[in-house]
A and B are shown apart, each in its own frame.
Chain A
Amino acid sequence: MSRQEIYSPEGLRVDGRRWNEIRRLSCKINTHPISCDGSSYLQIGNTKVMTMVHGPIEPKNKSSLLQDRAYLTVNLNIPSFSFFNATTNKKLSKNSKKILELQVSLVNIFQDLIILKNYPRTQIIINTIVLNQDGSLISSIINSISLALIDSGISMYDYISSVNCGLFNSKFPILDLNYLEELDLPFLTIAIIGKSENVSFLLLENNLPLDALEKILAISISGSHRIKDLMDNQVKKSSKLRIKSINEQSIN
Chain B
Amino acid sequence: MSSTSKQNWAISDCDAHFCDVLVMLKIFVPFHCYGWSSQKCWGAEEETAGEAGKAGEAGEAPAEATMEVLTVSKPIQNREDFDSDSDSDLDLDFASPQKQSLQNSVVTPGELVTSDPMLMRGHGTYSVGNKTYSSVAGTISRVNKLLSVIPLKSRFRPETGDHIVGRITEVGNKRWKVDIGGEQNAILLLGSVNLPGGILRRKSQNDELTMRNFLKEGDLLNCEVQMLYNDGAAGLHTRSLKYGKLRNGLLVLVPSYLIVRTKNHSFDLPGNVSIILGVNGFVWLYKTPLKTSLSSSSTLKNTNLNKFQTMLNSDSSNYTPGSTSVSITRLEEESTWEIYSDKNDPNISNNVRLNIVRYKNCLKCLSHCEIGITKSRIEHVYDISLEYENSGNLIEIEVMERIGKDVLNGEKMRGVNTSKMMSL
Q: Which residues of A contact B (CB under 8 A)?
A: 17-18, 20-26, 30, 33, 37-38, 55-58, 115, 119-122, 150-159, 175, 193-198, 214-215, 217-219, 221-223, 225-226, 229-230, 232-233, 235-237, 239-240, 242-250, 252
**19 pairs across A/B with beta carbons < 8 Å?**
A22-B70, A22-B71, A24-B71, A37-B155, A56-B183, A151-B137, A153-B137, A153-B152, A155-B109, A158-B109, A159-B108, A193-B41, A229-B25, A235-B137, A242-B370, A243-B152, A246-B422, A249-B421, A250-B422
Residue of A nearest to B110 (CB): A158
> B2-60: which have CB < 8 Å to A?
20, 22, 25, 27, 29, 31, 33-34, 38, 40-42, 44-45
Are B153 and A153 in contact, CB atoms less than 8 angstroms apart? yes
The residue that A152 contacts in the complex, of B44, B126, B153, with Cβ under 8 A, is: B153
Are B183 and A155 in contact, CB atoms less than 8 angstroms apart? no
* Distance A121 CA – B255 CA, assembled complex (angstroms): 23
Residue of B nearest to A213 (CB): B34
Are A120 and B231 in contact, CB atoms less than 8 angstroms apart? yes
Tell me the minimal C-beta distance from B228 to chain A in angstroms.
Answer: 13
> B343-401: which have CB < 8 Å to A?
370-372
User: B82 contacts which chain A residues (CB < 8 A)?
Assistant: 237
Are B34 and A217 in contact, CB atoms less than 8 angstroms apart? yes
Indicate if B106 sits at the interface (CB-CB under 8 A): yes
The residue that B65 contacts in the complex, of A115, A218, A221, with Cβ under 8 A, is: A218
Residue of B nearest to A226 (CB): B69
Are A222 and B412 in contact, CB atoms less than 8 angstroms apart? no
* Distance A230 CA – B86 CA, assembled complex (angstroms): 11
Q: Which residues of B contact A (CB under 8 A)?
A: 20, 22, 25, 27, 29, 31, 33-34, 38, 40-42, 44-45, 65, 67-74, 81-82, 85-86, 89, 104, 106, 108-110, 124, 126, 133, 135-139, 151-155, 169, 179, 183-185, 231-233, 255, 370-372, 408, 411-412, 416, 418-422, 424
Are A24 and B68 in contact, CB atoms less than 8 angstroms apart? no
Main secondary structure of the interface of B (DSSP, over half): loop
Tell me the minimal C-beta distance from B128 to chain A in angstroms.
Answer: 9
Main secondary structure of the interface of A (DSSP, over half): mixed
User: B183 contacts which chain A residues (CB < 8 A)?
Assistant: 55-58, 119, 122
User: A30 contacts which chain B residues (CB < 8 A)?
Assistant: 153
* Distance A38 CA – B424 CA, assembled complex (angstroms): 17
- Which interface residue of B22, B110, B233, B422 has the most chain A CB atoms within 10 A? B110
* Distance A227 CA – B98 CA, assembled complex (angstroms): 30
